[in-house]
Amino acid sequence: MNPLQKIGAFTAALAAAFGTAYGVGAALGPADPRTTTAGHTESHSSEPAAKTPPGDLLPAGLQVSQDGYSLDLETTAVPAGRSSLRFVVRDADGDPVTRYETAHGKQLHLIVASRELTTYRHLHPVRAADGTWSTPVDLPAAGGYRVFADFVPAAGSEGLTLGSDLSVTGPYRASPAPAPAATTTVDGYTVALEGTLAAGGESDLTFTVRRDGRPVTGLEPYLGAYGHLVALRSGDLAYLHVHPHEEAEGDGTSGPEVSFAATAPSTGTYRLFLDFKVDGTVRTAAFTVRAGAAPAAETGSGTHEETSHGH
Ligand SMILES: [Cu+2]
Protein backbone atom coordinates (compact mmCIF):
# COMPACT_ATOMS: atom_id res chain seq x y z
CA MET A 1 0.00 0.00 0.00
CA ASN A 2 1.47 3.40 -0.91
CA PRO A 3 1.05 6.34 1.46
CA LEU A 4 -1.92 7.74 -0.40
CA GLN A 5 -3.69 4.41 -0.31
CA LYS A 6 -2.99 4.18 3.42
CA ILE A 7 -4.57 7.56 4.01
CA GLY A 8 -7.50 6.59 1.89
CA ALA A 9 -8.03 3.38 3.84
CA PHE A 10 -7.71 5.26 7.14
CA THR A 11 -10.26 7.85 6.00
CA ALA A 12 -12.64 5.12 4.96
CA ALA A 13 -12.26 3.46 8.37
CA LEU A 14 -12.92 6.78 10.11
CA ALA A 15 -16.00 7.36 7.98
CA ALA A 16 -17.26 3.91 8.87
CA ALA A 17 -16.68 4.53 12.58
CA PHE A 18 -18.44 7.90 12.53
CA GLY A 19 -21.17 6.52 10.33
CA THR A 20 -21.87 3.85 12.94
CA ALA A 21 -21.83 6.36 15.76
CA TYR A 22 -24.13 8.66 13.87
CA GLY A 23 -26.48 5.79 13.12
CA VAL A 24 -26.73 4.89 16.83
CA GLY A 25 -27.36 8.50 17.80
CA ALA A 26 -30.02 8.91 15.15
CA ALA A 27 -31.74 5.74 16.27
CA LEU A 28 -31.91 6.93 19.90
CA GLY A 29 -33.55 10.27 19.27
CA PRO A 30 -33.97 13.24 17.01
CA ALA A 31 -30.81 15.15 16.20
CA ASP A 32 -31.81 18.30 18.02
CA PRO A 33 -29.01 20.81 17.39
CA ARG A 34 -29.60 22.30 20.85
CA THR A 35 -28.63 19.06 22.53
CA THR A 36 -25.67 18.09 20.39
CA THR A 37 -23.16 19.99 22.52
CA ALA A 38 -24.76 19.11 25.82
CA GLY A 39 -22.86 15.88 26.36
CA HIS A 40 -23.64 12.22 26.18
CA THR A 41 -26.10 11.91 29.02
CA GLU A 42 -28.88 13.68 27.16
CA SER A 43 -28.50 11.85 23.87
CA HIS A 44 -28.52 8.48 25.64
CA SER A 45 -31.53 9.33 27.78
CA SER A 46 -35.08 8.58 26.81
CA GLU A 47 -36.20 11.81 28.56
CA PRO A 48 -36.91 14.81 26.38
CA ALA A 49 -34.33 17.60 26.47
CA ALA A 50 -34.53 19.60 29.70
CA LYS A 51 -36.79 22.60 29.30
CA THR A 52 -34.98 24.69 31.91
CA PRO A 53 -31.83 26.26 30.52
CA PRO A 54 -28.85 25.06 32.55
CA GLY A 55 -28.02 28.70 33.31
CA ASP A 56 -31.05 28.94 35.58
CA LEU A 57 -29.68 26.16 37.76
CA LEU A 58 -26.26 27.69 38.17
CA PRO A 59 -25.31 30.30 40.72
CA ALA A 60 -24.90 33.74 39.15
CA GLY A 61 -21.63 35.16 37.93
CA LEU A 62 -20.13 31.96 36.52
CA GLN A 63 -21.06 32.68 32.91
CA VAL A 64 -19.96 35.41 30.54
CA SER A 65 -23.18 34.95 28.58
CA GLN A 66 -26.67 34.04 29.77
CA ASP A 67 -30.25 34.44 28.53
CA GLY A 68 -29.02 36.09 25.33
CA TYR A 69 -26.91 38.74 27.07
CA SER A 70 -23.12 38.79 27.05
CA LEU A 71 -20.50 40.71 28.95
CA ASP A 72 -17.88 41.92 26.47
CA LEU A 73 -14.85 43.25 28.34
CA GLU A 74 -12.87 45.58 26.09
CA THR A 75 -10.27 45.74 28.86
CA THR A 76 -9.06 42.24 29.70
CA ALA A 77 -5.72 43.16 31.30
CA VAL A 78 -4.65 46.19 33.31
CA PRO A 79 -1.44 47.05 35.16
CA ALA A 80 -1.55 46.95 38.96
CA GLY A 81 -2.53 50.34 40.36
CA ARG A 82 -4.84 52.91 38.86
CA SER A 83 -6.31 52.17 35.47
CA SER A 84 -9.70 52.03 33.82
CA LEU A 85 -12.10 49.40 32.57
CA ARG A 86 -14.27 49.50 29.47
CA PHE A 87 -16.93 46.99 28.54
CA VAL A 88 -20.14 46.51 26.60
CA VAL A 89 -23.18 44.42 27.44
CA ARG A 90 -24.44 42.86 24.24
CA ASP A 91 -27.81 41.42 23.37
CA ALA A 92 -28.46 38.23 21.42
CA ASP A 93 -27.80 40.06 18.13
CA GLY A 94 -24.44 41.30 19.38
CA ASP A 95 -25.67 44.87 19.67
CA PRO A 96 -24.76 46.98 22.72
CA VAL A 97 -27.56 47.16 25.28
CA THR A 98 -28.52 50.77 25.94
CA ARG A 99 -31.73 50.35 27.92
CA TYR A 100 -31.66 49.15 31.51
CA GLU A 101 -33.94 49.08 34.50
CA THR A 102 -32.71 50.84 37.60
CA ALA A 103 -32.05 48.41 40.46
CA HIS A 104 -30.66 49.45 43.84
CA GLY A 105 -30.38 52.98 42.54
CA LYS A 106 -28.21 52.21 39.51
CA GLN A 107 -28.55 50.80 36.01
CA LEU A 108 -25.50 48.62 36.46
CA HIS A 109 -23.37 47.54 39.39
CA LEU A 110 -19.83 46.40 38.65
CA ILE A 111 -18.03 44.18 41.12
CA VAL A 112 -14.34 43.43 40.67
CA ALA A 113 -12.78 40.81 42.92
CA SER A 114 -9.43 39.07 42.97
CA ARG A 115 -9.60 35.31 42.53
CA GLU A 116 -8.15 34.99 46.03
CA LEU A 117 -11.00 37.21 47.31
CA THR A 118 -8.63 39.61 49.04
CA THR A 119 -9.33 42.64 46.81
CA TYR A 120 -12.89 43.81 46.21
CA ARG A 121 -14.31 46.82 44.39
CA HIS A 122 -17.92 47.87 43.94
CA LEU A 123 -18.11 50.42 41.13
CA HIS A 124 -20.76 52.32 39.23
CA PRO A 125 -19.52 52.84 35.66
CA VAL A 126 -20.91 55.49 33.35
CA ARG A 127 -22.42 54.56 30.01
CA ALA A 128 -21.70 56.39 26.76
CA ALA A 129 -24.44 56.85 24.17
CA ASP A 130 -23.10 53.91 22.16
CA GLY A 131 -23.56 51.61 25.13
CA THR A 132 -19.90 51.40 26.23
CA TRP A 133 -19.51 51.42 30.00
CA SER A 134 -16.34 52.75 31.61
CA THR A 135 -14.98 53.35 35.08
CA PRO A 136 -11.70 54.11 36.77
CA VAL A 137 -10.46 51.29 38.95
CA ASP A 138 -7.60 50.87 41.42
CA LEU A 139 -6.38 47.30 41.81
CA PRO A 140 -3.20 47.32 43.88
CA ALA A 141 -2.09 43.71 43.45
CA ALA A 142 -1.29 41.65 40.37
CA GLY A 143 -3.18 38.43 39.78
CA GLY A 144 -6.32 36.92 38.37
CA TYR A 145 -9.55 38.85 38.89
CA ARG A 146 -13.22 38.41 38.06
CA VAL A 147 -15.45 41.24 36.84
CA PHE A 148 -19.20 40.96 37.50
CA ALA A 149 -21.81 43.11 35.78
CA ASP A 150 -25.07 43.08 37.72
CA PHE A 151 -27.99 44.63 35.82
CA VAL A 152 -31.58 44.31 34.65
CA PRO A 153 -32.00 44.76 30.88
CA ALA A 154 -35.12 46.81 30.07
CA ALA A 155 -36.12 44.22 27.47
CA GLY A 156 -35.93 41.34 29.95
CA SER A 157 -37.65 40.70 33.22
CA GLU A 158 -34.84 39.04 35.10
CA GLY A 159 -31.76 40.53 36.64
CA LEU A 160 -28.49 39.07 35.44
CA THR A 161 -25.00 38.83 36.84
CA LEU A 162 -22.49 38.08 34.11
CA GLY A 163 -18.84 37.43 34.94
CA SER A 164 -15.64 37.66 32.95
CA ASP A 165 -11.97 37.25 33.79
CA LEU A 166 -9.54 40.15 34.12
CA SER A 167 -5.76 39.95 34.48
CA VAL A 168 -3.89 42.46 36.59
CA THR A 169 -0.27 42.49 35.49
CA GLY A 170 2.82 43.05 37.61
CA PRO A 171 4.95 41.10 40.09
CA TYR A 172 2.65 38.57 41.70
CA ARG A 173 2.57 37.52 45.34
CA ALA A 174 0.00 35.04 46.58
CA SER A 175 -2.36 36.56 49.15
CA PRO A 176 -4.79 33.94 50.40
CA ALA A 177 -7.97 35.14 52.09
CA PRO A 178 -7.89 35.34 55.88
CA ALA A 179 -9.23 32.52 58.03
CA PRO A 180 -12.90 32.66 59.03
CA ALA A 181 -13.64 35.25 61.73
CA ALA A 182 -16.81 36.83 63.09
CA THR A 183 -15.40 40.35 63.38
CA THR A 184 -13.35 42.54 61.12
CA THR A 185 -12.09 46.12 61.28
CA VAL A 186 -12.00 48.74 58.53
CA ASP A 187 -10.80 52.33 59.10
CA GLY A 188 -11.47 52.11 62.84
CA TYR A 189 -14.93 50.61 62.43
CA THR A 190 -15.35 47.16 63.92
CA VAL A 191 -18.03 45.06 62.28
CA ALA A 192 -19.36 41.90 63.93
CA LEU A 193 -21.20 39.19 62.02
CA GLU A 194 -23.98 37.09 63.51
CA GLY A 195 -25.47 34.17 61.63
CA THR A 196 -24.04 31.40 59.50
CA LEU A 197 -24.45 30.44 55.87
CA ALA A 198 -26.16 27.11 55.31
CA ALA A 199 -25.96 25.33 51.99
CA GLY A 200 -29.08 25.28 49.86
CA GLY A 201 -31.23 27.53 52.03
CA GLU A 202 -31.62 31.13 52.93
CA SER A 203 -29.59 32.36 55.90
CA ASP A 204 -29.98 35.52 57.95
CA LEU A 205 -26.77 37.49 58.38
CA THR A 206 -26.70 40.44 60.75
CA PHE A 207 -23.80 42.88 60.93
CA THR A 208 -23.26 45.25 63.86
CA VAL A 209 -21.06 48.29 63.31
CA ARG A 210 -19.16 49.82 66.25
CA ARG A 211 -16.53 52.50 66.61
CA ASP A 212 -14.36 52.67 69.72
CA GLY A 213 -16.68 50.10 71.28
CA ARG A 214 -19.78 52.26 70.77
CA PRO A 215 -22.62 51.30 68.43
CA VAL A 216 -22.70 53.33 65.21
CA THR A 217 -26.28 54.54 64.75
CA GLY A 218 -25.53 56.81 61.83
CA LEU A 219 -25.52 54.28 59.00
CA GLU A 220 -26.57 56.26 55.94
CA PRO A 221 -28.67 55.01 53.05
CA TYR A 222 -26.57 53.40 50.35
CA LEU A 223 -28.16 51.96 47.19
CA GLY A 224 -31.59 51.94 48.80
CA ALA A 225 -30.62 50.18 52.01
CA TYR A 226 -28.37 50.69 55.06
CA GLY A 227 -25.69 48.49 53.64
CA HIS A 228 -24.93 46.45 50.56
CA LEU A 229 -23.70 42.88 50.73
CA VAL A 230 -22.04 40.74 48.08
CA ALA A 231 -21.08 37.12 48.80
CA LEU A 232 -18.66 35.19 46.59
CA ARG A 233 -17.78 31.52 46.79
CA SER A 234 -14.12 30.66 47.14
CA GLY A 235 -12.84 28.47 44.30
CA ASP A 236 -15.10 29.63 41.49
CA LEU A 237 -16.36 33.05 42.61
CA ALA A 238 -20.03 32.12 42.26
CA TYR A 239 -22.04 35.24 43.05
CA LEU A 240 -24.73 34.71 45.66
CA HIS A 241 -28.19 36.14 45.84
CA VAL A 242 -28.42 38.51 48.80
CA HIS A 243 -31.33 40.69 49.86
CA PRO A 244 -31.35 43.42 52.50
CA HIS A 245 -34.02 42.88 55.16
CA GLU A 246 -34.70 46.58 55.48
CA GLU A 247 -34.90 49.22 52.79
CA ALA A 248 -33.75 52.76 53.51
CA GLU A 249 -36.53 55.32 53.77
CA GLY A 250 -35.69 58.88 52.85
CA ASP A 251 -32.48 60.28 54.29
CA GLY A 252 -32.92 58.71 57.72
CA THR A 253 -30.01 56.88 59.27
CA SER A 254 -30.02 53.49 60.92
CA GLY A 255 -27.73 51.21 62.87
CA PRO A 256 -25.82 49.77 64.45
CA GLU A 257 -27.30 46.65 62.84
CA VAL A 258 -27.93 45.86 59.21
CA SER A 259 -29.19 42.46 58.12
CA PHE A 260 -29.55 40.42 54.96
CA ALA A 261 -30.84 37.11 53.67
CA ALA A 262 -28.23 35.19 51.68
CA THR A 263 -28.54 31.90 49.83
CA ALA A 264 -25.44 29.73 49.56
CA PRO A 265 -25.59 27.14 46.77
CA SER A 266 -23.27 24.67 48.50
CA THR A 267 -21.09 24.06 51.50
CA GLY A 268 -17.66 25.63 51.29
CA THR A 269 -15.81 28.85 51.96
CA TYR A 270 -17.26 32.22 51.05
CA ARG A 271 -16.20 35.84 51.33
CA LEU A 272 -18.75 38.42 52.39
CA PHE A 273 -18.21 42.05 51.42
CA LEU A 274 -20.37 44.52 53.34
CA ASP A 275 -20.43 48.10 52.04
CA PHE A 276 -21.71 50.60 54.58
CA LYS A 277 -21.80 54.38 54.53
CA VAL A 278 -21.03 56.69 57.45
CA ASP A 279 -20.39 60.46 57.18
CA GLY A 280 -20.63 60.24 53.42
CA THR A 281 -17.89 57.63 53.03
CA VAL A 282 -18.54 54.07 51.86
CA ARG A 283 -16.32 51.44 53.49
CA THR A 284 -16.16 47.71 52.92
CA ALA A 285 -15.94 45.14 55.70
CA ALA A 286 -14.85 41.71 54.45
CA PHE A 287 -15.43 38.36 56.17
CA THR A 288 -14.40 34.81 55.43
CA VAL A 289 -17.16 32.37 56.38
CA ARG A 290 -17.74 28.65 56.00
CA ALA A 291 -21.12 27.38 54.88
CA GLY A 292 -22.16 24.10 56.44
CA ALA A 293 -24.94 21.71 55.56
CA ALA A 294 -28.39 23.10 56.27
CA PRO A 295 -30.00 21.72 59.45
CA ALA A 296 -32.56 19.08 58.46
CA ALA A 297 -35.45 21.01 60.01
CA GLU A 298 -34.66 24.08 58.00
CA THR A 299 -34.14 22.43 54.64
CA GLY A 300 -36.48 23.93 52.11
CA SER A 301 -37.50 26.80 54.36
CA GLY A 302 -36.33 29.32 51.80
CA THR A 303 -39.77 30.54 50.85
CA HIS A 304 -38.65 34.14 50.56
CA GLU A 305 -39.68 35.24 47.10
CA GLU A 306 -36.81 36.06 44.78
CA THR A 307 -37.71 39.53 43.63
CA SER A 308 -34.35 41.21 43.74
CA HIS A 309 -31.58 40.94 41.26
CA GLY A 310 -28.53 39.55 42.86
CA HIS A 311 -28.09 42.28 45.44
CU1 LIG B 1 -23.67 48.97 42.95
Higher pLDDT, 242 or 270: 270
* Cα 109 to middle of ligand 1, angstroms: 4
**Phi, psi angles (nearest 5°) of residue 141:** -120, 140
* Cα 100 to middle of ligand 1, angstroms: 14
User: Could you tell me the sign of the dihedral formed by the alpha carbons of 60, 55, 90, 235, in that order?
Assistant: positive
* Cα 51 to middle of ligand 1, angstroms: 32
* Cα 30 to middle of ligand 1, angstroms: 45
> Please, which pLDDT band fits residue 297 given cuts at 50, 70 and 90?
low
pLDDT of residue 156: 78
Number of C-beta neighbours around residue 241 at 10 A: 21
* Cα 135 to middle of ligand 1, angstroms: 13
Burial of 57 (0-12, 13-18, 19+ CB in 10 A): exposed
Rounded-to-integer distance, Cα 197 and Cα 184, Å:
17
Each residue's pLDDT tens digit, 221-233? 999 899 999 999 9
Nearest to 161 by CA among 232, 223, 94: 232
pLDDT of residue 191: 98
Each residue's pLDDT tens digit, 178-187? 999 999 999 9
> Please, which pLDDT band fits residue 56 given cuts at 50, 70 and 90?
low
* Cα 123 to middle of ligand 1, angstroms: 6
Give mean pLDDT, residues 12-27: 40
* Cα 121 to middle of ligand 1, angstroms: 10
Average pLDDT, rounded, for the chain: 83
Dihedral over alpha carbons 259, 260, 265, 267 (to 10 degrees): 0
* Cα 122 to middle of ligand 1, angstroms: 6
* Cα 44 to middle of ligand 1, angstroms: 44
> Please, which pLDDT band fits residue 241 given cuts at 50, 70 and 90?
confident
Rounded-to-integer distance, Cα 76 and Cα 92, Å:
21
* Cα 252 to middle of ligand 1, angstroms: 20
Q: What is the DSSP letter of 105?
A: T
* Cα 41 to middle of ligand 1, angstroms: 40
pLDDT of residue 77: 98
Each residue's pLDDT tens digit, 148-202? 999 999 987 789 999 999 999 999 999 999 999 999 999 999 999 999 999 988 9
Lowest mean pLDDT among 21-30, 220-229, 256-265: 21-30
* Cα 283 to middle of ligand 1, angstroms: 13
Protein residues placing their CB within 5 Å of the ion ligand 1: 109
Residues 6+ apart with CB under 8 A from 278: 189, 209, 216, 218, 219, 220
- Percentage of the chain beyond pLDDT 90 is 68
Query: Is pLDDT at 3 greater than 70 in this prediction?
Result: no
Each residue's pLDDT tens digit, 60-112? 999 999 999 999 999 999 999 999 999 999 999 999 999 999 998 999 999 99
- The answer to whether the beta carbons of residues 232 and 301 sit under 8 Å apart is no
